[in-house]
Structure 1
Amino acid sequence: MAEDEPDVLSVPDLQRFCEFLYARTGMQFNETKRYYIDRRVAERMAANDAASFAAYFQQLRADAVEAEQLINSFTVNETYFYREDYQFRCLSRSILPEIVQSRAPGDKIRIWSVPCSTGEEAYSIAIWLLENWRLVDVYNIEIVGSDIDTRALGDAVAGYFGERALSRLPAELRDAYFEAEQKGQRRLVGDLRESVSFTSVNLVDPASTIVHGNFDVIFCRNALIYFDDDSRRTAVHNLYAQLNPGGFVCLGHSESMSRITDLFQMRRFEDAIVYQRPKRA
């Protein structure tokens, strides 16, 4: 949109739309993001041949598919392989060795990457464990990647990645786990694509999180910064409910669980600070 073009949404419409988006996702937008909002709403209106925002908003509230497409357009999918890899070192050197103290060989260990965006973080966990945890084949490790953005999930399942996404991976790992493709992309090998499952989730909706069952480790990095205080508390309580007692949560480097809730115990390991659901007494 050009700067001299009229706003797509009036002030009351903008407020209604932000309330709708907040109720559906927990993400908070307001007048300070007007240009961002107007541009994306205009794109969705054009895709649906909507003559006015009022007509589009009526469709949006009635059409779950369009609501999904709209939400997809508002999510941020900035990620790459081995992002904040100090937490992966903590996973293999400290967290998993503590978890398996109460497990027998062959037992299941569940790890959740949420939000997983286009799959880089969930697949990074799989690659890291294959390369760095000597007990990786002793236990039944299940990795699940989840996101509210269904378009990003489709890209994750397809497993194609450009050079920017792969830039932090050592060359030997790119060659070992990715097949050469055209147009500057490489595809993750089939065995690894099949080792991670991808699902849709809304972190502020307990009905959406509970269906995923319980996990031993949750990576929830750089998601809570997009929520307000109420949504953060809701999301964190939902994560707590999906953790096994004694399970761990890894947040982004700028996020702190202690500012949100006292449900978790902070654990200082050699490589990272993480948060643990207390074990049963």
Structure 2
Amino acid sequence: MAETMHSLRKTAVTLSDADFGRFRDYFYRRTGIYFEDSKRYFVDKRLLERMRLTGHEEFRGYFAALRFRAVGDEFQNLVNAMTVNETYFMRERYQFDCLVEEVLEEVMRRREGSRPIRIWVIPSSTGEEPYSLALTLLSRWPLIDSVDVEIVASDIDTSVLERARLGVYTGRSLQHVDSELRRRYFNELGGGRWQIADFIRDAVSFSRVNLLEPEHLRGYRDFDIILCRNLLIYFDDASRRRAASILYDALDEGGFIFLGHSESMSRISSSYQVRRFKHALVYQKPWKRPRSEP
């Protein structure tokens, strides 16, 4: 009987409006991600699950432990639970067309010496994004055999970074990868699973980055291209402006940033120039130093 009553108490745990508000403000300050009231069910479900897994039956105790780091890596576990990572290979392919057919041509014209072209993919999610970039360069860019390219891929979620490094995917993720690319660059594991080739996995450097934590961003500078697609939609206006400034600082002069199809840098920051290429609209960090002619 006692066990039954204890179980009933556990299933009856709920969050008050005040609890939700306190958590939302705290999570926003730490990550820049703001949960609208319409996301209340999503937040409650995952927050209550974290409370259950850490042995807390009341929000007050869990929140105190979370804030004072009494439970070690719990904040990272919470971030992993609260972030959505829905993606697939070659998403918004027209942007890859733009990159390989138009943008890289400009990057090469201003490239100095033999330095590598540096590309930052954030968020990386489970790896489809940076690996799609690598596949596009390998299969479609004529200069890939003579020019070094450095690909850095980052995410705030450590669980998806682990999956990205492993590089194992199902047919759903690969539905837009043609059979020739799949044959050349993936190994079939059975059970409808495929693993991207080792040399491609080794070519991508994965790292955990929270854009709102300055200590994470040391060394993230002088990128020629940034792919930041479908991240800013999770931020409010203030966080978007801050992120836009951070990404601007991470770009080399004349560097380019790609956003998701529903995102617009023009509504966030006046620092970028809008570039309308044949395939896509891209944002560029203006030149300040004199440009050397090719």
When normalised by structure 1's length, the TM-score is 0.95
Partner of 1:54: 60
CA contact (8 A) 2:14 2:48 kept: yes
**Distance in 2 between the 1:26 and 1:104 partners?**
36
Partner of 1:197: 205
Partner of 1:177: 185
**RMSD of the TM alignment (CA)?**
1.4
Using the TM superposition, give the Cα deviation of residue 52 of structure 1 relative to its aligned residue in structure 2, in angstroms.
1.3
Q: Which amino acid aligns with 1:179?
A: N
Using the TM superposition, give the Cα deviation of residue 105 of structure 1 relative to its aligned residue in structure 2, in angstroms.
6.1
CA contact (8 A) 1:153 1:199 kept: yes
**Distance in 2 between the 1:207 and 1:244 partners?**
20
Partner of 2:96: 88
1:128 equivalent to 2:136? Answer yes
**Distance in 2 between the 1:127 and 1:32 partners?**
38
- State the Cα deviation string for residues 125-180 of structure 1 (Å, max 9, x = none): 00100111101122210001100011000000011011111000001111111111
Q: Provide the secondary structure at the position in 1 that maps to 2:187.
A: strand
Partner of 1:10: 16
Using the TM superposition, give the Cα deviation of residue 53 of structure 1 relative to its aligned residue in structure 2, in angstroms.
1.1
- Further displaced range: 178-187 or 236-245: 178-187
Using the TM superposition, give the Cα deviation of residue 6 of structure 1 relative to its aligned residue in structure 2, in angstroms.
5.3
- State the Cα deviation string for residues 193-251 of structure 1 (Å, max 9, x = none): 00001001112333323432321000000111111000000011000000000000000
**Distance in 2 between the 1:112 and 1:199 partners?**
11
- Aligned match of 1:28 in 23, 34, 41? 34
CA contact (8 A) 1:86 1:271 kept: yes
**Distance in 1 between the 2:13 and 2:239 partners?**
28
- Unaligned 5+ runs, structure 1: none
Partner of 1:98: 106
Equivalent runs, 1:1-281 vs 2, <5 Å: 8-63=14-69, 65-103=73-111, 106-281=114-289
CA contact (8 A) 2:13 2:58 kept: no
Q: Which amino acid aligns with 1:71?
A: V
CA contact (8 A) 1:15 1:30 kept: no
Using the TM superposition, give the Cα deviation of residue 106 of structure 1 relative to its aligned residue in structure 2, in angstroms.
3.3
Partner of 2:292: none
**Distance in 1 between the 2:213 and 2:145 partners?**
34
**Distance in 2 between the 1:233 and 1:70 partners?**
25
**Distance in 2 between the 1:34 and 1:103 partners?**
48
**Structure 1 residue ranges (4+ consecutive) displaced by more than 6 angstroms after TM superposition:** none
CA contact (8 A) 1:210 1:242 kept: no
Using the TM superposition, give the Cα deviation of residue 103 of structure 1 relative to its aligned residue in structure 2, in angstroms.
2.2
Q: Which amino acid aligns with 1:217?
A: I
- State the Cα deviation string for residues 33-71 of structure 1 (Å, max 9, x = none): 221111101111111111211111112112351000001
Q: Provide the secondary structure at the position in 2 that maps to 1:207.
A: helix
Paired residues in the alignment total 277
- Unaligned 5+ runs, structure 2: 1-10, 290-294
- Further displaced range: 204-213 or 258-267: 204-213
- State the Cα deviation string for residues 97-141 of structure 1 (Å, max 9, x = none): 111112256321100110110010001100100111101122210
Using the TM superposition, give the Cα deviation of residue 94 of structure 1 relative to its aligned residue in structure 2, in angstroms.
1.0
Using the TM superposition, give the Cα deviation of residue 76 of structure 1 relative to its aligned residue in structure 2, in angstroms.
1.1
User: What percent of counterpart residues are identical?
Assistant: 47
CA contact (8 A) 1:111 1:218 kept: yes
**Distance in 1 between the 2:32 and 2:84 partners?**
14
When normalised by structure 2's length, the TM-score is 0.91
